[in-house]
A and B are shown apart, each in its own frame.
Chain A
Amino acid sequence: MATSTLFSTDLLRRYDRPGPRYTSYPTAPQFSADFGADQLREAAQASNGDPIPRRLSLYVHVPFCLSPCFYCGCNRIITRDLSRSDAYLARLYREIDLTAPLFDRDREVIQLHFGGGTPNFLTPAQLREVVETLRKHFNFSDSPNRDISIELDPRFISPEEIAELAAIGFNRASLGVQDFDPVVQQAVNRIQSVEQTVAVIEACRANGFHSVNVDLIYGLPKQNPEGFARTLDTVIKVRPDRIAVYSYAHLPEMFKAQRQIEAEDLPTPETKLGLLQLAIEKLTDAGYLYIGMDHFALPDDELAQAQARGGLHRNFMGYTTHADSDLIGLGVSAISHIGDSFSQNPRDIISWQGALDAGHLPVFRGMRLSDDDQLRADLIQHLMCQGEVPIAALERRYEIDFDSYFADALQRLEPLAEDGLVKLEPGRITVTAQGRLLLRNIAMCFDRYLDQPATVATPRFSRAI
């Protein structure tokens, strides 16, 4: 299928605009400094008060990286000084000490995830210490679907170390690959061989990991369909359970590392969407299911099964099967989602350490969701995960009349419906196959905090020609 059959260039240009990835709604820019440690404590207490309190998900942020990848927009610190992790972990344990008592002991931890940065900047021994500390402070579930997962940079971990991780209890891994094309690897300063990557994946499997994910990125400098096709073929041959294909967003004014990337090396929007379509075709032909946004999974992977039974969820860690949990973020810049609140730790390590050294919960901003926020968050969740808006359920749950409550949003959706991204029927809004590639644009129609329309305004008559 060629690009043109799915999208016209004109359509593409109109929808090619920045928008939130909706790992949360409202998105982080709405968080405010009015929300601090006291509010977090209140939110935790209220969440303990639910008749059946939610289970807990833990996220640990490890900000360090040994070498800078130029595309990166994450919160990270480049260092070769391995001793920095000791000082970091000392603060992390202090944060765990302060945070764990806020949650009732019978609330089970169903998921622990390490993200970064590069979590394997920490040695297996250090990771073991973190997991053991958390196990001491929280009540880890014995359920077989309790996950301990980690993002790995395959360049800095050996198969022997994977065996150590498995012994600690890690059972899911996500590997950064981005692209195997040597020209692209050079342009983004991440030289990573197929061999070392495959060795890590095989070690994960040999050590009983339930699932291995591979991250790819499209839209990188010097990327082209031929090279990316080879990367996809290579990845498909290894058959990871999940594959994420992220879009590269070039924002050099926001992310310093990206200033190393020459703008003229970037693919055009047409080529970029072509790369995504290439990925979709190749992956679905190879038997992967398109989960939504940027995620694919094999049909027997839990993510695909969760989507089939409506149990899929989206949070700061991407798609997850652990829908009904409160998320506790630990470490610099980490975000928590507890009850009807979002909160975030300071994004700079000095402030994060400072708060902990003073014995405070290191929250620097957050928000409490209003009824309207919760309704829209719920709606956007369903869009992102199930590809539809459950109108009747929302009307019942939030006691609204959908059509009048969302009159503005429905009006904003009209042009998207005309472009074939959504189908509007009485009592039903469904995302089309094309629309699934532009989920953000659809979700943006329901975002109260965006005042722009979801497409760059085009005079209606221009399309009639």
Chain B
Amino acid sequence: MSVPTFPHADPRIIADDGDALRFCSTCAFSEACLSRGMDKSALSDLHVLVDHAGPLHAGEHIFREGDRFEAIAAVRAGTVKTYVVDRDGNEHVLGFHLPGEVIGLNAIDGEQYPCNAVALDTVMLCKFSFPKISVLAARLPGLQKQLFRLLSRDIGRAALLAGDWTADQRLAAFLVALSRRLAERGFSPSRFQLTMARTDIANYLRLAPETVSRVLRRFQEDGVLKVERREVELLGREQLEALAAPVLRQ
């Protein structure tokens, strides 16, 4: 079998839970640690225990707004949606988090989680006690840099959609960004499943659900992509990249 299509993980990755000495292959931090010669036994010497959590099923919450902040979590498998609910009860989607990405970073400056995090499909997580990882980060500049990078990426992503973009640009940017993130984790960049519902995508992109479908249908008619149920295949990568470029600031 060739490159896995998200969310079907490569069986080699799924099977790879790491062990006392090795990191899981989806670990968001392994590179930072290993580059400083810190393997898992070195980490356990520092009492940085990593909790594997899950599987959580679609609709289960990982944390809710106002819960006491204890840990950041890296997604090992599946998709996590973060969102807040406004005073009128309307949901606002903040982001979607894929394998290798971290949730809970926006809680760092407070005592409580400032948003909700819910599993969209079957999700596996690694939880890191935040106080402990910050101690570790102080000793490992690489880890600190990695944390800052993840943090700024989180902020950057949220800012992307603030601009005055068309529906076409928003959707193209969404698909291109998703494709790149999946490619980084070894998934196929051209074929993947949208694990989030249409209303979630629409909410995240500040569009009406009908608009999401209308634009996708038009993209499909133009041969830019193909949609079959939840599965998307990107066919006209260049066109999508061109549309997405201003949004993704390239």
Binding site for B on A (CB under 8 A): 46, 48-54, 104, 106, 339, 399, 401
A106-B209, A106-B210 as given contacts; A49 in contact with B198, CB under 8 Å: yes
A48 B220 Cβ-Cβ under 8 A: no
B210 A51 Cβ-Cβ under 8 A: no
In the bound complex, what is the Cα–Cα distance between A54 and B213 (angstroms)? 10
In the bound complex, what is the Cα–Cα distance between A106 and B208 (angstroms)? 11
- Point out the residue from A104, A339, A399, A401 that lies within 8 Å of B209, measured CB to CB: A104
In the complex, whether B106 has a CB less than 8 A from a CB of chain A is no
- Point out the residue from B5, B199, B227 that lies within 8 Å of A49, measured CB to CB: B199
A48-B197, A48-B198 as given contacts; A53 in contact with B5, CB under 8 Å: no
In the bound complex, what is the Cα–Cα distance between A284 and B229 (angstroms)? 37
B8 A53 Cβ-Cβ under 8 A: no
- Point out the residue from B4, B5, B8, B212 that lies within 8 Å of A51, measured CB to CB: B212
Say how far A390's CB is from chain B's closest CB, in angstroms. Answer: 14
Say how far A181's CB is from chain B's closest CB, in angstroms. Answer: 47
A52 B209 Cβ-Cβ under 8 A: no
Find the B residue at minimum CB distance from A104. Answer: B209
In the bound complex, what is the Cα–Cα distance between A49 and B199 (angstroms)? 7
In the complex, whether B201 has a CB less than 8 A from a CB of chain A is yes
Q: Which residues of B contact A53 (CB under 8 A)?
A: 198, 213
- Point out the residue from A46, A52, A339 that lies within 8 Å of B213, measured CB to CB: A52
For the complex with contacts A48-B198, A51-B212, A339-B229, 17 further pairs of A-B residues with Cβ separation under 8 Å are A46-B197, A48-B199, A49-B196, A49-B199, A50-B198, A50-B227, A50-B230, A51-B194, A51-B198, A51-B227, A51-B232, A52-B213, A52-B217, A104-B209, A106-B213, A399-B1, A399-B5
Say how far B180's CB is from chain A's closest CB, in angstroms. Answer: 19
In the bound complex, what is the Cα–Cα distance between A399 and B3 (angstroms)? 10
Q: Give the tally of cross-chain contacts (CB within 8 A).
A: 41
Q: Which residues of A contact B210 (CB under 8 A)?
A: 106
CB<8 Å pairs between A and B, sample of 21: A46-B197, A48-B197, A48-B198, A48-B199, A49-B196, A49-B198, A50-B227, A50-B229, A51-B194, A51-B227, A51-B230, A51-B232, A52-B213, A52-B220, A52-B227, A106-B210, A339-B229, A399-B4, A399-B5, A399-B8, A401-B1
Q: Which residues of A contact B229 (CB under 8 A)?
A: 50, 54, 339
Contact with A along B190-207 (1 / 0, CB 8 A): 000010111111000000
Find the A residue at minimum CB distance from B230. Answer: A50
In the complex, whether B216 has a CB less than 8 A from a CB of chain A is yes
Say how far A311's CB is from chain B's closest CB, in angstroms. Answer: 14
In the bound complex, what is the Cα–Cα distance between A54 and B199 (angstroms)? 15
Say how far B8's CB is from chain A's closest CB, in angstroms. Answer: 6
Q: Which residues of B contact A48 (CB under 8 A)?
A: 197-199
Which of B226-244 touch A at CB < 8 Å? Answer: 227, 229-230, 232
Binding site for A on B (CB under 8 A): 1, 4-5, 8, 194, 196-201, 209-210, 212-213, 216-217, 220, 227, 229-230, 232
In the bound complex, what is the Cα–Cα distance between A401 and B1 (angstroms)? 8
A-side binding surface: helix, strand, loop or mixed?
loop
Say how far B189's CB is from chain A's closest CB, in angstroms. Answer: 16
Say how far B24's CB is from chain A's closest CB, in angstroms. Answer: 22
Q: Which residues of B contact A46 (CB under 8 A)?
A: 197
Q: Which residues of B contact A54 (CB under 8 A)?
A: 229
Say how far B119's CB is from chain A's closest CB, in angstroms. Answer: 15
In the bound complex, what is the Cα–Cα distance between A64 and B213 (angstroms)? 40
What 8 A-B pairs come out closest when comparing CB atoms? A49-B197, A106-B210, A52-B213, A52-B227, A49-B198, A52-B216, A51-B216, A51-B227
Say how far A394's CB is from chain B's closest CB, in angstroms. Answer: 13
Q: Which residues of B contact A401 (CB under 8 A)?
A: 1
Q: Which residues of A contact B194 (CB under 8 A)?
A: 51
In the bound complex, what is the Cα–Cα distance between A433 and B200 (angstroms)? 49
In the bound complex, what is the Cα–Cα distance between A50 and B209 (angstroms)? 10
Say how far A427's CB is from chain B's closest CB, in angstroms. Answer: 17
Say how far B204's CB is from chain A's closest CB, in angstroms. Answer: 13
Find the B residue at minimum CB distance from A400. Answer: B1
With most chain B CB atoms within 10 A of its CB, the pick from A50, A339, A401 is A50
Find the B residue at minimum CB distance from A47. Answer: B229
With most chain A CB atoms within 10 A of its CB, the pick from B1, B201, B213, B216 is B213
Q: Which residues of A contact B197 (CB under 8 A)?
A: 46, 48-49
A51 B201 Cβ-Cβ under 8 A: yes
B1 A51 Cβ-Cβ under 8 A: no
Find the B residue at minimum CB distance from A45. Answer: B197
In the bound complex, what is the Cα–Cα distance between A48 and B209 (angstroms)? 10
In the bound complex, what is the Cα–Cα distance between A52 and B220 (angstroms)? 10
Find the B residue at minimum CB distance from A339. Answer: B229
In the bound complex, what is the Cα–Cα distance between A225 and B115 (angstroms)? 75
With most chain A CB atoms within 10 A of its CB, the pick from B4, B8, B197, B200 is B197
Q: Which residues of A contact B232 (CB under 8 A)?
A: 51
Q: Which residues of A contact B198 (CB under 8 A)?
A: 48-51, 53
Say how far B219's CB is from chain A's closest CB, in angstroms. Answer: 10
With most chain B CB atoms within 10 A of its CB, the pick from A51, A54, A401 is A51
Q: Which residues of A contact B213 (CB under 8 A)?
A: 51-53, 106
In the bound complex, what is the Cα–Cα distance between A449 and B200 (angstroms)? 37
Q: Which residues of B contact A50 (CB under 8 A)?
A: 198, 227, 229-230
